[in-house]
Amino acid sequence: MRVFVAGGTGVLGRASIRALVEAGHRVRSSARGKEKTALVRTLGAEPADVDLFDPAALRRAIAGSDAVLRLTTKFGPMLKLRDPRTWTETMRLRTAGARVLVDAAMAEGVGVYVHESVSFVYADGGPAWLSEDSPIDDGSVAILRATIEGEQEAARFTQAGGRGIVLRFAAFYGADVPSTRETITLARRRMLPRIGAASNYFTSIYVPDAGRAVLAALGIPAGIYNVCDDEPVSFADYIHTLTKAVGAPRPFRLPPILGKWMFGDVWKYLSRSQRVSNVRLKEVSNWKPTIKSVTEGWPVVAAELGLGKGKLQLNGRPAEGSVFINKGVT
């Protein structure tokens, strides 16, 4: 297939292009500037310098494509989560950007549209498994409202005769994810706290597995699909597994009331219990995660980064950063 990727230079985009190219697809990706253009070529795809909010330019960029993938988000530092401006560009990409892209895809007769979303939209489910039919709740949080609104663009594409697919991704982690490196650095400095009991389920996905899910989406029916590992863990176990894998000290424990103070509105969904199921995607495709849980995933990431005792080294240089957990969907 001829595939156009909007957002191919981000965390999810890079993993997806690798999977698509390896599977033999012809890939074209948005890339603005020399550095990103070079990156796309390195991944084996054709770069397209295009304004994703310019309808005419987008039509030219996606002309001849069989599928269009919207994998665009832009997050700022997590220390700035309390600032509404942190989410402005991501909300615009997930709503107005998706709308322009779907319009262009329909005008060019593209058959498949894949829309990146997140599993944080699910309401608190306690210990129950959450499927794509489980209740969603924006929690009066602007970024989740925009996320839910953006998913409607895939439905609109399907209603117009195409095949619109929403992929709700769990929290990303991997050696190629900047937020993962920052989180590890923070954990080793004992600055990654456990807030409250942390008994809520937290669902994750290893980034290479997320990229392969995007590849699998090209051949599945229209609809909504969760992309996550097989065995979600409590947030307490998530932190314990992480700190153990990277040789970090035991984290401090803070009272629950500090969650809202530290993260603002984001705490409304970070503190939810979301035991998300990937059964639907596995039923309609040959996709399954290679990493079943962070219990085995964090040691894999630690090994990929070459972590040992002493000072944390990332890509041959000391790691820096003081960012908490980043969804990493960019």
Give residue 308's pLDDT: 56
**Tell me, what's the pLDDT at 316?**
40
In this predicted structure, what is the pLDDT of residue 75? Answer: 61
pLDDT at 56: 97
3-state SS, one letter per residue, for 279-298: HHHHHHCCCCCCCCCHHHHH
What does the pLDDT look like over 105-115, one tens digit per residue?
A: 999 999 999 99
Which letter, b or e, does each residue of 230-241 get, where b requires 16 or more Cβ atoms within 10 Å of its Cβ?
A: eebbbbbbbbbb
The DSSP bridge pattern shows strands 233-234 and 201-202 to be antiparallel
pLDDT in tens, 9-18: 999 999 999 9
What span, in angstroms and rounded, lies between the C-alpha atoms of 290 and 117? Answer: 21
Question: Rounded to whole angstroms, how far apart are CA atoms 101 and 58?
Answer: 7
Using CA atoms, how far apart are residues 169 and 276, in angstroms rounded to an integer?
10
**What is the C-alpha separation between 83 and 215, in angstroms, rounded?**
35
Q: What is the pTM of this model?
A: 0.91
Beta strands 129-130 and 275-276, pairing class = parallel
Q: Are 67 and 111 in contact (CB under 8 A)?
A: yes
**What's the CA gap between 196 and 192, in Å, rounded?**
13
Predicted local distance difference test score (pLDDT) of residue 101: 98
pLDDT 10s digits, 45-100? 999 999 999 999 999 999 999 999 999 976 655 555 555 565 677 788 899 999 99
For the chain, helix (H) and strand (E) counts, in that order, are 13, 17
Task: Return the residue matching tokens 């456990």.
Answer: 194
Residue 296 clears pLDDT 90, i.e. is over it: yes
Distance CA 213, CA 169 (A): 10
Closest CA to 300 of 171, 192, 199, 176: 176
For the ranges 137-151, 239-253, 265-279, 296-310, the lowest mean pLDDT is seen at 296-310
- Asked if 77 contacts 330 with a C-beta cutoff of 8 angstroms, the reply is no
DSSP letter at 169? Answer: E
Q: What is the pLDDT of residue 264?
A: 75
Q: Taking residues 22-40, report their average pLDDT.
A: 97
CA 26 – CA 46 distance, rounded (Å): 8
Q: List, for residues 217-261, the tens digit of each pLDDT value.
A: 999 999 999 999 999 999 999 999 999 999 999 999 999 888 887
With a pLDDT cut of 70, the percent of the chain lying above it is 89
* pLDDT, position 3: 98
Alpha-carbon span 66 to 68, nearest angstrom? 7
Out of 160-164, 297-301, 312-316, least confident range: 312-316
Domains and their CATH numbers in the chain: 2-318 (3.40.50.720)
Using CA atoms, how far apart are residues 129 and 203, in angstroms rounded to an integer?
11
Per-residue pLDDT, averaged over 295-313, amounts to 80
